[in-house]
Amino acid sequence: MQTLLEDATAGDPLGGTRWVRKTLRLLAKQLKRKGFRVSHETVRHLLAKLRYTLRANRKRRSKKSDPNRDRQMRLIQRTRRRFLKAGKPVISVDTKKKELIGNFKNAGRTWCREAVEVLATDFLSDADGKAIPYGIYDVAQNTGFVVVGTSHETAEFAGAAIRRWWQRVGRVRYAGQNHLLIEADGGGANSSRSWLWKAALQSLADEFDLTITVRHLPPGASKWNLVEHRLFGPISENWAGQPLVSYETVLKYIRTTRTTTGLRCVAYLDRTPYATRLKLSATEKANINLTPHRIFPKWNYTIRPHKPDRTK
C-alpha cells in the first residue's frame, strides 16, 4: 500500500503514478493487479491505519522571506508577553478579505435540504456593495471587534476602527492603562510605510492621551498575525456556504461567531466615504511624535501624545 502512495522517482518523468490523482478506487484497482482482492472501502480503512488522510495545500511558504523575519517574530512575542503580564492592552489588527454584497456563491458548505441557488457570475456590477471588514482582536480577552466599511480600505478607515474599539471597549476594559500595543501586518491600510496610518494613530494618541507601540509583522509572515486565525478563520467558517446578501447578513454572522475557546465578537457598520490618494505634507509628517526603535525601526516604533499647550 505504501509503495503505491510513493511518487515515482525514476524512469520516464512523464509517466508513472506521480501525475495521477490517487483515489480510493484507483488504489483498489492497482492492488487487485498485484493479486490483492480488496474494495475501495477496505483501502479507506487501510489508509486510516497508516495515518493517511485527505489534506489540502497549506499556505505557509513565501517567496518574500526577510532575513530578519525570525528575529522580528521573537521580538513581537516578547513584547506581547511583557504587555500582557503588566495588564496592558494588546490588539492584533488587519483587514479581512473584501466580500461582495449580493446573492453570490460563498466558499464552503452548510447543512441544508436543498442547495441555495446563487448568481452564476461574480461581477462587481451585480453587487449591492462591498464589505470591508477591519478586525481588531483583543489578545488577553479573546474577543473580536469588527468594523465593516463600505467604501475604501484606507489608513483613515483603519484608524477610525481602532478609535471606535478604544472608545467603546478598550478604555473601559483597561481603565487606568495608557499604553497600547498594536500588532499589524506590514501592508494594506496599516502599512509600516504609510504616514497616513501613523497620522491616524497620532490622532488617537492625542485624543485619549494614549501611548501606542506598534510591531509590524515582517514580509511573508502575515499568516501568523493572531487576528487571522483566531478571528477571521472562525468568521469564515461561520458564514461558509452562505450568500452574503446584505450588510445586515454580514454583521449577523460576525456577531454570532463562537469558538470552543470562548471567542465572542461584536460588529459595526461604517458607511463613511473614505477618500483615497491622500498625502501628508512635510509639516504634517514632522508633527507626528514618533520614536523609532533601535531594533528594526521600520517595523517597530512608538507614538506618544503631544503635551497639551498650557499657554492657551
Band of residue 15 on the pLDDT scale cut at 50, 70, 90: very low
Cell of 16: 508513472
3 state DSSP class of 266: strand
Predicted local confidence at residue 59, as pLDDT: 58
- Among the residue ranges 86-90, 116-120, 138-142, 271-275, the one predicted with the least confidence is 116-120
If you average pLDDT over residues 280-308, what whole number do you get?
Answer: 96
Query: Does 118 score more than 80 pLDDT?
Result: yes
Q: What number of helices (H) and strands (E) belong to the chain?
A: 11, 9
- Spatial neighbors of 237 by CB under 8 A, at least 6 apart, are 108
Angle between helix 40-49 and helix 24-33 axes, rounded to 10 deg = 100
Alpha-carbon span 198 to 190, nearest angstrom: 8
Predicted local confidence at residue 19, as pLDDT: 47
Q: Judge whether 210 and 126 are in contact, CB under 8 Å.
A: no
* pLDDT per residue as tens digits for the range 136-194: 999 999 999 999 999 999 999 999 999 999 999 999 999 999 999 999 999 999 999 99
Band of residue 5 on the pLDDT scale cut at 50, 70, 90: low
Strands 264-270, 290-292: pairing is unpaired
Predicted local confidence at residue 6, as pLDDT: 61
Predicted local confidence at residue 114, as pLDDT: 84
- Sole residue written with cell 485527505: 54
pTM of the model: 0.82
* pLDDT per residue as tens digits for the range 247-284: 999 999 999 999 999 999 999 999 999 999 999 999 99
- What domains can be seen in the chain, in order of their start residue? 2-49 (no CATH), 69-303 (3.30.420.10)
Predicted local confidence at residue 17, as pLDDT: 44
Alpha-carbon span 102 to 122, nearest angstrom: 9
- Sole residue written with cell 488617537: 204
